[in-house]
């Protein structure tokens, strides 16, 4: 498999062969799988794990940890165009966890399940001597054959992203108290975006028939766009000046231009990243108006492979490896 260990090579070499014979597994190249359901409907299934100190700060409030767990999974469903309906929870709680913490965790879980119209239908709980480890499996429905996959991008497509980019990565720094130069309200905004993603559950289903390919931004815009390009056999050109930033993120970059690389490569945004034919632009603007979620075209799909990001002077930016890597 090579050294150092790479998450995607690990999946391709060891686990993708186990999915052969099940077309809905999509060769383990996507964020979800498709199960045949009732006539005319596919069930979309996704699972994400979160570990204390890796995906959230160990002292984050229990209710916010639970809500983030729900939201990162619903974001994967939204990227497929699916409407969520159920989840399974597997939780490894540290030995001696306080009852009040567990109550707050359950309250947060219930809050978001009610908000998004989703039911908890089962799972498992165990005790662990290690860090808090959580896993949620989420189920959604999409019209048969209409799920938005990573593999549909075509040369000439415009590349779109919802909301703003970079708030999640900068929000981690804000939560750690590393952005003391920001106004308190700006730092609080970024920390909140890290702790509480906004899954685009209303927008995602409206993109069916418009988006040719899509996924959500969890590991970083450039890295995730690279995943989409590999699945589609294409390349991408992105204009850094077109990438939408929140006022708080702009303030950080204005204070330290080198942080633009973190904005482009950092994770935890959970915005939708998708491609669409230029002819779909007006329809996408209508989707944006209907949902209240801004959509921004940031580049174009091209022949070849890889992702190139260009600065305002037309030069390719050196971003390094970038993106979140588990190994």
Instruction: Give the tens place of pLDDT for each residue, 47-95.
Output: 999 999 888 999 999 999 999 999 999 999 999 999 999 888 888 999 9
Every domain of the chain with CATH number 3.90.650.10 lies at 150-310
Q: Per the structure block, which two tokens stand in for 265?
A: 């490569």
Tell whether domain 150-310 is in CATH 2.70.50.30. Answer: no
Every domain of the chain with CATH number 3.30.1330.10 lies at 31-143
Low-confidence ranges of the chain (pLDDT < 50): 1-4, 324, 326-327
CATH of 31-143, picked from 3.40.640.10, 3.40.50.720, 3.30.1330.10, 3.20.20.70, is 3.30.1330.10
- Percent of the chain scored above 70 by pLDDT? 91
Reported pTM: 0.88
Interval 89-98: pLDDT, tens: 888 999 988 9
Predicted local distance difference test score (pLDDT) of residue 3: 45
CA dihedral 238→166→34→28, nearest 10 degrees, is: 80
């Amino acid at each position: 498999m090579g050294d150092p260990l790479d998450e995607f090579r690990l999946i391709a070499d060891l686990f993708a062969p186990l999915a052969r014979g099940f077309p809905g597994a999509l060769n383990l190249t996507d964020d979800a799988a498709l199960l045949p359901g009732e006539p005319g409907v596919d069930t979309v299934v996704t699972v994400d794990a979160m570990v204390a100190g890796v995906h959230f700060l160990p002292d984050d409030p229990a209710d916010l940890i639970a809500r983030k767990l729900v939201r990162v999974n619903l974001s994967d469903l939204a990227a497929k165009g699916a409407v969520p309906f159920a989840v399974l929870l597997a939780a490894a709680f540290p030995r001696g966890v306080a009852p009040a913490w567990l109550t707050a965790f359950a309250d947060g879980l219930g809050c978001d399940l009610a908000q998004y119209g989703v039911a908890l239908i089962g799972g498992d709980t165990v005790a662990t001597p290690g860090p808090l480890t959580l896993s949620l499996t989420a189920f959604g429905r999409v019209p048969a054959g209409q799920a938005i996959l990573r593999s549909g991008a075509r040369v000439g497509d415009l590349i779109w992203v919802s909301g703003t980019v970079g708030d999640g990565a900068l929000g981690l720094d804000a939560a750690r108290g590393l952005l003391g130069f920001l106004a308190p309200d700006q730092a609080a905004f970024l920390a909140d975006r890290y702790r509480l993603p906004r899954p685009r559950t209303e927008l995602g289903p409206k993109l069916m028939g418009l988006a040719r390919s899509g996924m959500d931004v969890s590991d970083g815009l450039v890295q995730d766009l690279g995943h989409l390009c590999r699945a589609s056999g294409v390349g991408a050109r992105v204009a850094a000046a077109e990438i939408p930033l929140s006022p708080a993120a702009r303030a950080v970059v204005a204070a330290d231009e080198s942080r633009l690389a973190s904005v482009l490569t950092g994770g935890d945004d959970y915005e939708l990243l998708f491609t669409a034919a230029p002819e779909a632009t007006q329809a996408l603007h209508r989707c944006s108006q209907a949902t209240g979620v801004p959509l921004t075209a940031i580049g174009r799909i091209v022949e070849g492979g890889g992702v190139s990001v260009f600065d305002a002077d037309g030069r390719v930016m050196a971003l390094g490896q970038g993106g979140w890597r588990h190994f």
